[in-house]
Chains A and B, each alone.
Chain A
Amino acid sequence: AQSVTQLDSQVPVFEEAPVELRCNYSSSVSVYLFWYVQYPNQGLQLLLKYLSGSTLVKGINGFEAEFNKSQTSFHLRKPSVHISDTAEYFCAVTTLGSGDKLTFGTGTRLAVRP
């Protein structure tokens, strides 16, 4: 069975500082990987996705993530955060085959302070 682990439930950071949100997955087969963001009282919005090809993926709002197959990780990074980046971030994985279910991690709350 596939699973997604987000190691940090909360990440406080000062404005303009860099940030990394960690995500690890478990799967014995090929995967597609996603990062979603959820602003208060809103649905989830896709930040970026890895399907194949280059392991460094760039998304919206200046975010990027790197797929590391050997470490089964897909960490999200931003070199300089803004107050407006304060939100909940979810890592998700689709294991190819077995119905292609989209499974989410428990989320990381990014709190950007001035």
Chain B
Amino acid sequence: EAGVAQSPRYKIIEKRQSVAFWCNPISGHATLYWYQQILGQGPKLLIQFQNNGVVDDSQLPKDRFSAERLKGVDSTLKIQPAKLEDSAVYLCASSLDRRDEAFFGQGTRLTVV
């Protein structure tokens, strides 16, 4: 079974630039999560989708972050414009349903300079 795929693995951008991350969840998984993991901290939930609907985005900085999950499959997370404090690893995860085990991708390490 293929795992959660994320790209790119690494990205370096200057502040005020924009960046996008892509996630392909495990086939058949209805729930998709985006987490932000700052160095030395635990993952923080940014947004949770159930199929193509948003379940929770209470911690998503909506003035600069946006996410979509077209057709309830792939998802993209965008930051525009980026700030230095956005430097982190962005993790995508998926699960069969909201109460099931979440499977994680390897993450995208973003460095904002």
Contact = CB atoms under 8 A, between A and B. Distances in A.
Interface of A: 4, 6, 32, 34, 36, 41-46, 49, 51, 90, 94, 96, 99-107
B22 to A, nearest CB: 15
B33 interface: yes
Contacts, number: 56
A46 B43 CA distance: 14
Contacts of B107: 43
A63 to B, nearest CB: 15
Interface in B1-60: 4, 33, 35, 41-45, 48, 55-56
Given A46-B101, A51-B99, A104-B44, 14 more contacts: A6-B42, A42-B106, A43-B107, A90-B43, A94-B98, A94-B99, A99-B55, A99-B98, A102-B33, A102-B48, A102-B102, A104-B43, A107-B41, A107-B42
A49 B100 CA distance: 10
Contacts of B4: 43
B4, B41, B42, B107, most chain A CB atoms within 10 A: B42
Interface residues of B, number: 22
25 contacts: A34-B101, A34-B102, A42-B106, A43-B4, A43-B91, A43-B106, A44-B91, A44-B104, A45-B104, A46-B102, A49-B101, A51-B99, A94-B98, A94-B99, A99-B48, A100-B55, A101-B45, A101-B48, A102-B45, A104-B35, A104-B42, A104-B43, A106-B41, A106-B42, A107-B41
A58 to B, nearest CB: 15
Nearest to A9: B40
Contacts of B101: 34, 46, 49
Q: Which 3 pairs from chain A and chain B are nearest by CB?
A: A43-B104, A100-B98, A104-B42
